[in-house]
Amino acid sequence: VSSEDLPAAPRFPARAGAGTRRKPRQRTLSQAAIVDAALGIVDHDGLDALTMRTVAHALGTGPASLYAHVASKEQLIELLVERVIGEVEFGCAPDPERWAEQVKEAANNMRRVFASHGDLARASFGRIPVGANALRGAEWMIAVLRAGGLSDQVTGLAVDLIALYTMAVAYEDGLAVAGGNTVEEIVAFIGRLRKYYASLPTDRFPNVVALAGELTAGDENTRFEFGLEVLIRGLEAVSRQEG
Amino acid sequence: VSSEDLPAAPRFPARAGAGTRRKPRQRTLSQAAIVDAALGIVDHDGLDALTMRTVAHALGTGPASLYAHVASKEQLIELLVERVIGEVEFGCAPDPERWAEQVKEAANNMRRVFASHGDLARASFGRIPVGANALRGAEWMIAVLRAGGLSDQVTGLAVDLIALYTMAVAYEDGLAVAGGNTVEEIVAFIGRLRKYYASLPTDRFPNVVALAGELTAGDENTRFEFGLEVLIRGLEAVSRQEG
DNA sequence: ACCTGAACACCGTTCAAGT
DNA sequence: ACCTGAACACCGTTCAAGT
């Protein structure tokens, strides 16, 4: 869970700076306490409510005080994402016979954990995670894919692909949550979307009209599972063709 | 290109309101002029530079003036995305023999068009596009997939999946651009990332260390093409198994 | 009907000043 | 070394007032 014994991670030039205190004197404020407070705000009120001011307020202080423990809001979000990735379970040992099931299970865990933290996935997306928790996930995923018989080359590409897909779906999950919509409201919206597709002019959009039902069918889990299945079957096919 | 003859699109509750003028008196300001100015800002300085104030400044007025033609910044971005999707070419007629190539070509066009507009893909991601241009793309994609022999059910899921993947990659493309990084800086970053992976403790991350090269291999185009290939092979496999 | 200046209620971050 | 109040340079949006 701690990353202090890892070599220094490379930073993308655009991202903000690193260096904050290693061990704050733990008077009242600390990096851990700030991350805790920030996570609570994201969980309750979503990413848009996450503000240096709201975090500070939750800790009974002012926004300027946070900068002794956190370099920037950017870095705070980075810490938040690392913390949440640490909640994802990568349990069982790689089993060559069950690699597809194991990949699906891990992806589902990932999605579920992020779903339990509001729309944090939105902040996570596009970030190359280099913390200990993210590396643990990558390590496990690579082990599973290699055990499953994928070549090193395919594995190197597949890890990113699976993570990209999973986080992209988690991102979309979060959008509905962020709007504060209930399940009923979302279902109602999908219903309106289906009616809209069905009501389009048939001469210009014959296929959209014909597939209005299919385009809006399936709940989020079904659609996510479908995508995972497609990815895994595709990786199998690409692997076969390769060898 | 115009969507005025379409039925009213359903709106997700969270999104902001719709109704602005249909035909502004075209004195100096107009919705089209505002979208033009906004696109210019995104192209030159990125999405973070897009501000009601910067747009207004580019038009020689104040931010309050924009609200006569645009309901909110949210809606301005929606218009922006619709405009850009309109630049994507969906050329040739669906050819059953070449459906895979056609899907790849369209996805590449999509990615290229968004790449030419800074990091706008970030704003587009997760949005369910309901404008005429987006529908034209969906119509074409559905036609190609059906022509390729996919079932209606698989097609309904596949359209989303392909769009999700393409926009997710476009999103990531944009992140590097938004930081103002040159190609050299990005290459240098990938190099550092590879060294970082290779330098990790072998006992905890044997697979990450072993695949340091593969994890960071291939340029963005190669990786994108790989994902497309996996998706298409997977769709073929899922279709076969279904029938 | 359109446009505007001014204001409201916010942001992230800095910095001199405190302890 | 840590914490703070106040300030800086911004946001999106509203609204009364103009034409």
Confidence of residue A19 (pLDDT cuts 50, 70, 90): very low
| Residue B86 beta carbon within 7 A of nucleic strand D | no
Locate tokens 């640490």: which residue?
A86
Confidence of residue B23 (pLDDT cuts 50, 70, 90): very low
- Each residue's pLDDT tens digit, B112-162: 999 999 999 999 998 888 999 999 999 999 999 999 999 999 999 999 999
Residue A5 has pLDDT above 90, yes or no: no
What's the residue count for chain B? 243
Distance from CA of A182 to the nearest CA of B (A): 10
**Triad A191, A196, A201: Cα angle to 5°:** 155
| Residue B15 beta carbon within 7 A of nucleic strand D | no
CA nearest neighbour of A6 among B96, B204, B233: B204
CA nearest neighbour of A81 among A73, A69, A90, A93: A73
Residue B243 has pLDDT above 60, yes or no: yes
Residue A25 CB partners (closer than 8 Å, separation 6+): none
d(Cα B123, Cα B81) in Å, to the nearest integer?
A: 8
Which of the 61-100 residues on chain A come under 7 Å of nucleic strand D at their beta carbon? 61-65, 67-69
Residue B187 has pLDDT above 70, yes or no: yes
Q: Which of residues 120-139 of B touch A (CB under 8 A)?
A: 122, 125-126, 128, 130, 135-136, 138-139
- Each residue's pLDDT tens digit, A59-116: 999 999 999 999 999 999 999 999 999 999 997 899 999 999 999 999 999 999 999 9
Positions of strand D less than 7 angstroms from a protein CB: 1-7, 10-16
- Each residue's pLDDT tens digit, A195-223: 999 999 999 999 999 999 999 999 999 99
CA nearest neighbour of A173 among A227, A116, A212, A232: A116
Q: Average pLDDT over chain B, rounded to whole?
A: 91
Residue A243 has pLDDT above 80, yes or no: no
More confident residue, A127 or B200: B200
Q: Do A211 and B152 touch (CB under 8 A)?
A: yes
d(Cα A28, Cα A39) in Å, to the nearest integer?
A: 18
Dihedrals φ, ψ of A175, to 5°?
Answer: -60, -45
Answer whether B204 touches A (CB < 8 Å): yes
Alpha carbon B191 to its chain's center: 27
Residue B85 has pLDDT above 90, yes or no: yes
Q: What is the DSSP string of A21-52?
A: -SS---SS--HHHHHHHHHHHHHHH-GGG--H
Distance from CA of B41 to the nearest CA of A (A): 19
DSSP state of B94: P
Beta strands (DSSP E) in chain A are none
Selecting from A130, A156, A189 the residue whose C-beta is nearest the C-beta of B12 gives: A189
Residue B149 CA to nucleotide C5 C1', Å? 62
Answer whether B158 touches A (CB < 8 Å): yes
CA nearest neighbour of A85 among A7, A3, A144, A201: A3
Average pLDDT over residues A174-183: 84
Residue B179 has pLDDT above 80, yes or no: no
What pLDDT score does A180 carry?
A: 79
Distance from CA of B227 to the nearest CA of A (A): 7
Q: Do B130 and A196 touch (CB under 8 A)?
A: yes
Say if residues A167 and A124 touch (Cβ distance below 8 Å): yes
pTM: 0.92
Q: Which of residues 53-82 of A touch B (CB under 8 A)?
A: none
| Poorest-pLDDT segment among A142-146, B12-16, B42-46 | B12-16
- Each residue's pLDDT tens digit, B46-64: 999 999 999 999 999 999 9
Selecting from B200, B218, B234 the residue whose C-beta is nearest the C-beta of A231 gives: B234
What Å distances lie between residue B159 and A187, A236, B26, CA to CA? 20, 21, 38
Residue B8 has pLDDT above 90, yes or no: no
Taking CA–CA distances from B218, the nearest residue in chain A reads A157
Answer whether A160 touches B (CB < 8 Å): yes
Residue B25 has pLDDT above 80, yes or no: no
Locate tokens 């800790």: which residue?
A59
